Amino acid sequence: MSKNLASKAVSGLKWGSVSTIANAVMQIGYTSAMARLLAPEAFGLVAIAGVILRFGSYFAHLGLSQAIIQKDELTEENIRAAFTSSALLGLAFTVLIWVLAPFATLFFENEVYASEQVTPIVRLMSLALLIGGLSSTASSLCERNMRFKELSIVETLSYVISYLGVGIILAYLDYGVWSLVIATLTQAALVALGAYFIARHSILPLFKWESYKPLFNYGSKMSVISFLEFLSQDMATILIGKTLGPYKLGIYDRAHRLVNLPMYMLTRTISRVIFPSFSKLQAETSKLANAYISSTTLLATIIIPTCLGLLVAAPEVVYILLGDQWGDSIPVLQVLCLAIPLSFITMFAGIVCDAKAVLNLKIVLTLVFIGVITGFFFLLRQYGLVGFAFAILAGELVRILFYQTVLNRILKLSYTRQLQVYIPGLVNGLIIAAAIYALSTVLRGAGLSHVLVLGAQIATGAVLFIALTLFFPHKTLKSQINTLLSKLGIDENPTSYYGRLISKYRKTVINSTEG
């Protein structure tokens, strides 16, 4: 990876991380407020509508966003073609879902609730497809050109206005489920306007097949893959909504979001930088393999300890953020804390396939995974929500094996080297989880409040994470940190305060025990 590309990647990660942290903090407040203002059924109804909308979105976008980022040489006509098709597809599927909403929601209808509850929600939320169709080209151009600073500012401001402003106010005024819907649409509209302001492009329609062909050749396959991944990822939501009703789905949805959303925000920041970076290395297999190992090792080192710490602190997190009425979500959250990190780490293997345009193989792999996870759901359905969560965990373990076979084939990475990326995060995570568990046992036994216990858990986890990651890193992690610092060249300026600090860190922590 060239230093210019690396510096852009670091800048993107920096601004993306700032945005992620800001949004994570705001999400905590938003989740806590909305969980107290709305009943679980409201979240369940929106989750069902979200499944239907995501079903249509993969066909409405046809993978054109990824095609714009991945294409080596992008012309002005390609951009006009992408905007024309995205806008028309967004409009077409908005109309289609509006018309077919009553029929789509019949799948979820049972004695607990009727499709009349879901249909108007689906219809209004379908406007998100039109908004997305109008904005996807601008957003993709921002990512292709790594303008993550501007994107981060837009996304953070839109979140403040939409969710902390519009959403909470409407919920307080007893708009119920509509507060969730309107907040979602408001953010989508604000992000669309902001993205176009950053990356202005021609909106003149173009109907010339030569400009569409290279985008559709790649994008159509990406759309199929995204749709199949949607089925695999939302299988639990679909089956719970169908068999257990909105209350149980609301419980599952909140538990899933508590662990999934922070991980999604973190990995979305990284993946938005990694995909264009990987795409620029698509012809250099050896460099791409090394970039994948480094990125995945560092990511696993962050999210595995975070999720294992959350597993132990789940009771305090649920009672503080959601309230006492959400106690049923605790065991579900704990199981998902084991499954979700595997899902996001495996995502990087999928990004490699996207960057290398190895899409047919990825389609086959995803189809097999859908069959596997459906089988696990069937076997474990008798255990209710916890059974569904364990099915997700089992499915993710199988998917790791699938992707290891793929990466062994396309990047010539040995299975041993691929498994090593998990070791630093797993070792650090077990140490952190054990320490938090011991502390929690004492503090809970002493009858301290949930707030005090959670504060102690966070402080303990943070101190141990910093110590184990930066000052006592596992040898595999140590090697990757050293490689990262060398490639970025950020310690080459001896007159810089940060340069001297990093140089001292390398000498005392990294290089002192090399070999």
**What is the per-residue pLDDT for 189?**
93
- 185: tokens are 């649409």
C-beta separation of 327 from 319 below 8 A: yes
Reported as a single tens digit per residue, the pLDDT across 298-307 is 888 988 999 9
Helix axes 76-104, 40-61, angle to 10 degrees: 140
pLDDT of residue 508: 57
d(CA 419, CA 118): 44
Exposure string (b/e) for 90-113, b if CB count within 10 Å is 16 or more?
A: bebbbeebeebbeebbeebeeeeb
Interacting residues of 16 by C-beta distance below 8 A, sequence separation 6+:
148, 152, 268, 269, 270, 272, 273
User: Which of 195, 192, 186, 189 is closest to 165 using CA atoms?
Assistant: 186
Distance CA 393, CA 40 (A): 24
On the CB side of 148, CA atoms within 13 Å amount to 24
**Alpha-carbon span 207 to 77, nearest angstrom:** 10
- Residue 444 is predicted with a pLDDT of 92
pLDDT tens per residue across span 475-509? 777 777 666 555 545 444 555 544 555 565 556 55
Q: Are 353 and 409 in contact (CB under 8 A)?
A: no
> Is there a contact between 426 and 474 (Cβ–Cβ < 8 Å)?
no
Q: Which regions in the chain score pLDDT beneath 70?
A: 1-21, 23-24, 58-66, 69-72, 104-116, 209-223, 265-283, 481-515
Name, in order, each residue with C-beta under 8 angstroms of 346's C-beta and a sequence gap of 6 or more.
396, 399, 400, 403
Which residue is listed with tokens 């080596």?
A: 72
pLDDT in tens, 371-403: 888 889 889 888 888 998 999 899 889 889 888
Q: Distance between CA atoms of 378 and 376, rounded to whole angstroms?
A: 5
Please state the domain extents for the chain: 254-472
Q: What CA–CA distances, in Å, run from 344 to 185, 296, 400, 417? A: 26, 10, 11, 18
Among residues 270, 272, 292, the alpha carbon closest in space to that of 281 is found at 292
pTM to 2 decimals? 0.65
pLDDT of residue 112: 42
DSSP result, 56-82: HHHHHHTTHHHHHHH-SS--HHHHHHH
